[in-house]
Amino acid sequence: MKLLTQVRACTLCQDLPLGPNPILQFNPRARILIAGQAPGRITHHKNRPFDDPSGDRLRNWLGVDRETFYDETQFAIIPMGFCFPGTAKNGDLPPKPVCAETWRQKLINNLPDLELILAIGRYAIDWHIQPEKKATLTQIVSNWKSYYPDITPLPHPSPRNNRWLKNNPWFEKELLPQLKTQVSRLLY
């Protein structure tokens, strides 16, 4: 596919600390879109999305194994930023907006069978759901039934969010069982 070749060859952001390295997973047959933030340092070096502890947790949340998760006909993985943006004091920098502005809608338009969007983290949630600016991540995710079954807002599965998960037990008790059932239903 010409578009995917163009995205993988993108060099719009020359100022990245590790250089441009667009990382995504895409196939027009995919029915589930994982809309993440941006690849982390580990992912950048492995050149595979969510091939880190965050990915382990995400696969657990979805109830799928690695083989299913990395089957591009099952899951498209299109982060808000395709390249590692660098690090800040408390974690990675935000994704560069130019990725979403340049490529996101074009890629989504080429997912004709798309049935579920998993909006992971605030940047993906803001783009896909466009909640009120003052709404917190917790408020948005706890209101997940308002977007179900087309979009499911999720916190980032990073180990840095262990406290959030501990403070919000409803997430694992209410949302995750529904999510696993829906994902299972959509797999080929």
Token pair listed for 26: 């895409």
pLDDT of 12-66, one tens digit each? 999 999 999 999 999 999 999 999 999 999 999 999 999 999 999 999 999 999 9
- Contact (CB, 8 A) for 104 and 85: no
- Contact (CB, 8 A) for 79 and 37: yes
DSSP character at residue 149: T
Helices 176-186 and 53-62 cross at an angle (nearest 10°) of 80
- Contact (CB, 8 A) for 83 and 21: yes
User: Alpha-carbon distance 99 to 82, whole Å?
Assistant: 7
At 142, the pLDDT band (50, 70, 90 cuts) reads: very high
pLDDT of 76-108, one tens digit each? 999 999 999 999 988 899 999 999 999 999 999
Max CA separation in the chain (angstroms): 45
What is residue 133's predicted lDDT score, i.e. its pLDDT? 92
Provide the whole-model pTM.
Answer: 0.96
Mean pLDDT of 126-141: 96
Cross-strand bridge partners of residue 75:
32
What is residue 1's predicted lDDT score, i.e. its pLDDT? 86
Q: What CATH code is assigned to 2-186?
A: 3.40.470.10
**H-type alpha helices, 132-175:** 137-142, 162-167, 170
Asked if the model's pLDDT at residue 188 lies above 90, the reply is no
What is residue 91's predicted lDDT score, i.e. its pLDDT? 86
